[in-house]
Copies of this chain bind each other. A is one copy, B any other.
Amino acid sequence: MKQYRVLIDAKDEKGLVYKIASIFYKHELNIMSNNEFVDKDNDKFFMRSVVEGMVDADQLEAELEAVLPEDSSVEIVKAVKKNIILMVTKESHALGDILIRYEAGELDANILAVVSNYDLLEPLVSKFNIPYITVSHEGLEREAHEEAILKALGQFKDVDYIVLAKYMRILTPRFVEAYEDKIINIHHSFLPAFIGANPYKQAFERGVKIIGATAHFVNNNLDEGPIIAQEIKHIDHAYGWRDMQRSGRDVEKIVLSRALKLALEDRIFVHANKTVIF
């Protein structure tokens, strides 16, 4: 018995569920879980099914493609570990949260490396026997620095996701394109509020009564990529911006780890700069 995740992203049309269910039924697949969503505004159909049975993955994919509208995307994923690379700067909370889950075997992932522009977190990462690569930005133009990072990343094949676990530098379009829809960032505000640098300072200045964090895919517009998950925390007038920062870390790390888990389980579809999450 094999188990697959069937991921379908298609133009919506009448009968899709029937056609897909027919194929599952013909192969006597056991449907372990099933989620569908029709985006009526964009005429799109999304489906994630976990099926179990004797069918061959390539054959299943071919048969599904044959009944779906043109330009549909069908992916049959075996639930294997994905390869991820973490990028960090100086703060350890989001990184640490991922490392502890990793050590506990909670993540369906191999952490290939942790990349940073500082060597500060090397002692922590090395405890977990994960390669730590420091690419200092000192004395380098942004482009040259990124070139060096890309080169360092280049040695790793089949990278599924790059997780910016509080990597505090802006990525250039060149970098983003190299890993399109594969970079997950945690931003320390409830976007679209407080885009850019020092969101906690911005939040303090504005006198908000909540702070938050947003996990999102990175695109070429700063903090404007498709949002995966968001969470907030209530605060009051007694919070200085450093209190917000301290206290916001728990929100940040939980939201990032939640988004990472969704990605590793192939639960996220991206369309029109938004996510559908099953």
Residues of A bordering B, CB below 8 Å: 14-15, 17-18, 21-22, 24-25, 28, 30-31, 33-34, 36-39, 41, 91-93, 96-97, 99-101, 103-104, 106, 124, 127-128, 190-194, 206-210, 212, 226-232, 234, 236-238, 240, 246, 250, 254, 257-258, 272-277
Q: Are B274 and A207 in contact (CB under 8 A)?
A: yes
Q: Are B254 and A230 in contact (CB under 8 A)?
A: no
Q: In whole angstroms, what is the CA distance A24 to B34 when docked?
A: 18
Give A193's nearest chain B residue, CB to CB.
B193
Q: Which among B38, B92, B192, B254 is the interface contact of A103 at CB below 8 angstroms?
A: B92
Q: A206-B227, A237-B275 are in contact. Are A34 and B14 (CB under 8 A)?
A: no
Nearest 6 CB-CB pairings of A with B: A96-B100, A207-B274, A127-B127, A18-B21, A18-B25, A193-B193
Q: In whole angstroms, what is the CA distance A173 to B222 when docked?
A: 34
Q: Are B206 and A192 in contact (CB under 8 A)?
A: yes
Q: In whole angstroms, what is the CA distance A254 to B229 when docked?
A: 18
CB distance from A147 to the nearest CB of B (A): 31
Q: Are A229 and B206 in contact (CB under 8 A)?
A: no
Q: Are B237 and A277 in contact (CB under 8 A)?
A: yes
Q: A21-B21, A277-B236 are in contact. Are A104 and B96 (CB under 8 A)?
A: yes
Q: In whole angstroms, what is the CA distance A223 to B34 when docked?
A: 33
Q: Which among B124, B191, B208, B273 is the interface contact of A227 at CB below 8 angstroms?
A: B208
